[in-house]
Structure 1
Amino acid sequence: MGSADLKNLCNLKFLSLDFCFSNGFEAERLPQCSSDKLQELHLPGNQLTGTLADWMGHGTSLVILDLSSNNITGPIPEFIGRFTDLRVLDLTDNHLTGHVPPEVEGHFHGLKSLEQIYLSDNQLEIVVGSEWVPPFRLQEASFASCQMGPLFPAWLKWQVDLTYLDISSTGITDRFPDWFSSSFSKITSLDISNNRISGALPKNMGNTSLGSLYSRSNNISGRIPQLPRNLEILDISRNSLSGPLPSDFGAPKLDMISLFSNYITCQIPLFVCELNLYSLDLANNLLEGELPQCFSTKDMAFLLLSNNRFSGKFPPFLENCTTLSFLDLARNKFSGTLPMWIGNLGELQFLRLSNNMFHGHIPNNITSLSKLYHLNLAANGISGSIPHHLSNLTMITTPYVHVPGAVVASFQSIVGDMPVVIKRQELEYKGVAILEILSIDFSCNYLTGKIPEEITSLGGLINLNLSWNQLNGGLPKKIGDMQMLESLDFSNNDISGEIPSSLSNLTYLSILDLSYNHLAGIIPSGVQLDTLYTEYPSIYNGNTGLYGPILHKSCSVNNNAPQRDHQQRSKKVSESTLFFYFGLGSGFVAGLWVVFCALLFKKAWRVAYFRFFDKVHDKAYVFIIVTWGRFARKR
């Protein structure tokens, strides 16, 4: 459409050009008529630039103005108050700045029809006096990432018709106001996350219409009160909640509960059995005991219980949970063997059972989990061999493929931040990003046998850790095919043979550890391997048969190894003998000092000591004289 077409459309009432212009759109192309009749203007996602005044200066008859997801800069102009018919104002995700309003009456006094306002993801400061009474009655409002604190915005108490409110990341450091539940009685969706709101949750919040409550990353303390009956989503993670969970949440429609990183104690109440949960995240708390066996798993997709004190066997109620996608039971006290039916959980993408007390073999059909991205069984008592048919883990055979943004947002709201041990450090990944770390970790177990050659078919793996087991045999010859590897740890096993030359193909490696095995032969050279050795010289330690230029050690030197070992052992024996005699002498001196001090401070002991020596002296003297006299007579 040409620019002249829009300029002369004086009777135009509705204009919607959502995400149409990747190269931008100029304000001059809008109708330029004195009698402007435009009521709805929708121009989101068009790379718009300039100030807001450029886009709002063509008429005051607008009812809906949507300029979201653009590059508009500057402050909100004061003449916005002249738009008396404006009901919807959406300026989300721009680059607006400034204090809104310097004089609030000048900006918003005329907006008596305003029902919906969206100013999120700008750099606006919306701080007004506690006495200000707005002229409008909002139904929806979003101010995320604007500055509204430190006090809880008092003017919101007049917005009794609100059904949606987002004041997350707005710098509020206050407590919940007394009017919270009464003024927000109609709200169905409330987001107050990422502030520093303190104190307990309002006790009468059960009387509200809340369907979703997001309040993660605050300083909320105390126990969870009776919840609104229509509540479906509850997120109070990363707070300071304490005490046990309520025996009855009072919210039978709950299907998503996220309470991770609090101080919640005792057991999971049986009330959860009455819920048809889609997601339950209770990680990083102080919960204990066995899980209720009455869990309804019909629609459960996320069960995250890591870093608690749960005990018992692998949860049997999961057998029929065919929708389960994320299962995290790490850092608990679960025991027993892994069930054979674990391979039937075909939707699993994330399985972490590390740091428990599981024993027995890894079920062979675990390789049937074709959608698995992340498998961690580290730090248990698992024995036996590594399962074959690893190529059936098809999601790990190729590099990770990024998923659509809508899926990312969904994961972020459910999973949140998850810690993962990779590259010898614990890193946190947000939402779906956890699936980007294609990983297998079987470290710190009692696995035996050879490393299956088929493991090299997992070409998408980023992290592979088999350290601290009893694996033997050689390294997989085609290990160089795993070219996405960034961290590879086979240390502290009984692996023997040569290091495959294909190892030098792993150009993404930033962590490598083959120490304390029985490897022999020449170490492959390569830019990445040489760099790793320079940074971490211990990666080949404990393999006396290895040699090569990187170690400054040739194979001929290796022939003198027995003699050198004998010299080292002799040196150790000499050191041990010297240490023994040194200890013996030190003990003798210390003993003498004890006796001396006892005689010095105990008079009775001192008298008895000298009498004893007098008697011994007399007896010795008599014995010597008598013996000498007898000897002299015989002569």
Structure 2
Amino acid sequence: MGVLDSWHKEECCQWSAFSLEVADLGSSQLGPSFPAWLQSQVDIWLMDISSTVIVDRLPDCNNLLEGQLPQCFGVMDIGFLMLSNNRFSGNFPSFLKRLRQLKSLDLSHNSFSGRLPLWIGELAELRFLGLNHNTFSGEIPPTISNLSHLRHLNLAGNGLSGAIPWHMSNITAMIGMDKSNYENELFFDGYLGTFHTLDFSSAVIKGRELNYSSGIWDLVSIDLSFNQLTGVIPEEIAALDALINLNLSWNQLSGKIPNKIGALQALESLDLSRSMLSGGIPSSLSDITYLSYLDLSDNNLTERIPSGRQLDTLYTQQPSMYSGNSGLCGFPLPISCPGKNATRKDDQKRNEHSFEPMTFYFGLALGFILCLWVVFCILLFKKAWRTAYFCMVDKTYDQMYVFSVLTWKSWARK
């Protein structure tokens, strides 16, 4: 520990009359100033001073903590730091760089601002990162992909811009993993029981905001919604096959949806709505067995909608999932696809329409042939009809012959 850290520790410890390892103080109305007695603690491993009050919904509440975070946090060996739903402000706390054992950080629903630092990728033990609903700006640090243990990333509701980082496949905790092994690794020394009693965090999944306690660790999730992100969706995101929730909505993303997105076999909720995505919908989406929520609305998607039992079922439950894409066509939409982009059902309809005139002409020809056969059979077996028929033919022949001869002589005289 450096000289500065030693000084901070001495300054903080002068208030300490007791020592805490777990501070479960959620919704305890500690505000508005940060309690001095809590700053004096240096042995806290789990600190929850979050609030169940959402600041945006109750702006007059004066029991919430506000201002900048005390620097005393930097001398603690905190593993779990939950500060959501308060009024903390300032830049991303610099003292967090020293918390190399930090496993969970929840700063959501506060007023933090500025850019996210590159050194955030050095918090190698981080499993949960909730920075949603602040006013962070700038690009998402590319080093965030160095957090190989990360299972829950929530940066929604900020002012982040630039592209989604590449090398997402480096986050190996989001690639097929045994949950039981993960829990044994994460919850030790009795902390699992503590988390079962906490309202740990919230997450937007399947279009709804849900509160989670220890179950948040089972929700492998990436939420980058409500930002100003540009560029394409990285192809590597399809390697994160343990993802349950992927929300990239309300951004300015362009390009095509990755063709291999169907490799996300654990995916239950996918929201790519309200962006600028183009091209067709990958047919591999119909291969995601557990997918129960899909929203692709308000993009620039074109071409026919791929068929598949899963996609057809989702449409009956959520008819707005394709709305706002004027270039989409085919079943289940009422817009038929022209030319080569036509679906099999469109082809069927066109074949039915083209078959109608063919049926008419075929019936006409068949009727004519049948009439001829009827007349032939009657003449063959009825002698009286046969005699009358040939007399009529001879008489007609004579009349035509006389008419033609007289007409020819008349023209010859002229």
Same fold by TM (over 0.5)? yes
C-alpha distance after superposition, 1:101-155 (max 9, x if no partner): xxxxxxxxxxxxxxxxxxxxxxxxxxxxxxxxxxxxxxxxxxxxxxxxxxxxxxx
Residue matched to 2:19: 253
Give the counterpart of 1:550 among 332, 343, 348: 332
SS in 1 for 2:20: coil
Distance 1:558 1:358, change over 3 A: farther
Distance 1:429 1:412, change over 3 A: farther
Q: How far, CA to CA, are the matches of 1:488 and 1:249 in structure 2? A: 49
Deviation at 1:427, TM superposition (A): 2.2
Residue matched to 2:258: 476
* One-letter identity of the residue aligned with 1:496: S
Residue matched to 2:204: 421
SS in 1 for 2:259: coil
Deviation at 1:249, TM superposition (A): 7.6
Deviation at 1:537, TM superposition (A): 0.5
Distance 1:357 1:507, change over 3 A: same
Q: How far, CA to CA, are the matches of 1:278 and 1:404 in structure 2? A: 17
Residue matched to 2:187: 407
Q: How far, CA to CA, are the matches of 2:24 and 2:76 in structure 1? A: 19
Residue matched to 1:319: 97
Tell me if structure 2 keeps the 8 A contact 1:545–1:558: no
- Spell out the pairing of 1:186-585 with structure 2 (5 A cutoff): 251-276=17-42, 277-284=44-51, 286-402=64-180, 403-404=183-184, 407=187, 410-414=191-195, 416-418=198-200, 419-431=202-214, 433-556=215-338
Deviation at 1:531, TM superposition (A): 0.9
Report the structure, 1 or 2, having the larger strand content.
1
Q: How far, CA to CA, are the matches of 1:248 and 1:257 in structure 2? A: 19
- Spell out the pairing of 1:104-119 with structure 2 (5 A cutoff): none
C-alpha distance after superposition, 1:59-103 (max 9, x if no partner): xxxxxxxxxxxxxxxxxxxxxxxxxxxxxxxxxxxxxxxxxxxxx
Q: How far, CA to CA, are the matches of 2:76 and 2:30 in structure 1? A: 26
Tell me if structure 2 keeps the 8 A contact 1:260–1:281: yes
Gaps of 5+ in 2: 1-12, 52-62, 342-414
Distance 1:294 1:250, change over 3 A: closer
Instruction: Report the identity percentage.
Output: 51
Deviation at 1:526, TM superposition (A): 1.3
C-alpha distance after superposition, 1:553-578 (max 9, x if no partner): 2113999xxxxxxxxxxxxxxxxxxx
Residue matched to 2:7: none
Q: How far, CA to CA, are the matches of 1:345 and 1:406 in structure 2? A: 15
Q: How far, CA to CA, are the matches of 2:246 and 2:203 in structure 1? A: 13
SS in 1 for 2:179: coil
SS in 2 for 1:472: coil
Distance 1:529 1:514, change over 3 A: same
**TM-score, normalised relative to structure 2:** 0.72
Distance 1:325 1:405, change over 3 A: closer
Q: How far, CA to CA, are the matches of 1:395 and 1:327 in structure 2? A: 17
Q: How far, CA to CA, are the matches of 1:347 and 1:407 in structure 2? A: 13
Q: How far, CA to CA, are the matches of 2:169 and 2:251 in structure 1? A: 22
* One-letter identity of the residue aligned with 2:45: Y
Q: How far, CA to CA, are the matches of 1:302 and 1:420 in structure 2? A: 18
* One-letter identity of the residue aligned with 2:50: A
Q: How far, CA to CA, are the matches of 1:555 and 1:261 in structure 2? A: 56
* One-letter identity of the residue aligned with 1:294: C
Q: How far, CA to CA, are the matches of 1:505 and 1:399 in structure 2? A: 21
Two-structure CA RMSD over aligned residues (Å)? 2.3
Report the structure, 1 or 2, having the larger helix content.
2
Deviation at 1:254, TM superposition (A): 1.6
Tell me if structure 2 keeps the 8 A contact 1:279–1:414: no
SS in 1 for 2:204: strand
Q: How far, CA to CA, are the matches of 2:236 and 2:279 in structure 1? A: 18
Q: How far, CA to CA, are the matches of 2:333 and 2:14 in structure 1? A: 65
SS in 2 for 1:318: helix
Larger RCO: 1 or 2 (CA < 8 Å, sep 6+): 2
Deviation at 1:477, TM superposition (A): 0.7
Tell me if structure 1 keeps the 8 A contact 2:15–2:36: no
Deviation at 1:269, TM superposition (A): 3.1
Distance 1:458 1:357, change over 3 A: same
* One-letter identity of the residue aligned with 2:31: T
Distance 1:405 1:356, change over 3 A: closer
Tell me if structure 1 keeps the 8 A contact 2:256–2:278: yes
Deviation at 1:351, TM superposition (A): 0.2
Deviation at 1:273, TM superposition (A): 3.8
* One-letter identity of the residue aligned with 1:426: E
Paired residues, what number? 312
Deviation at 1:328, TM superposition (A): 0.1
C-alpha distance after superposition, 1:258-284 (max 9, x if no partner): 110233311213444432121111001
Gaps of 5+ in 1: 1-246, 560-635
Q: How far, CA to CA, are the matches of 2:186 and 2:262 in structure 1? A: 36
Q: How far, CA to CA, are the matches of 1:407 and 1:309 in structure 2? A: 29
* One-letter identity of the residue aligned with 1:475: I
* One-letter identity of the residue aligned with 1:269: P
C-alpha distance after superposition, 1:203-248 (max 9, x if no partner): xxxxxxxxxxxxxxxxxxxxxxxxxxxxxxxxxxxxxxxxxxxx99
- Spell out the pairing of 1:45-60 with structure 2 (5 A cutoff): none
Deviation at 1:503, TM superposition (A): 0.7
* One-letter identity of the residue aligned with 2:41: L
Deviation at 1:548, TM superposition (A): 1.2
Q: How far, CA to CA, are the matches of 2:224 and 2:126 in structure 1? A: 18
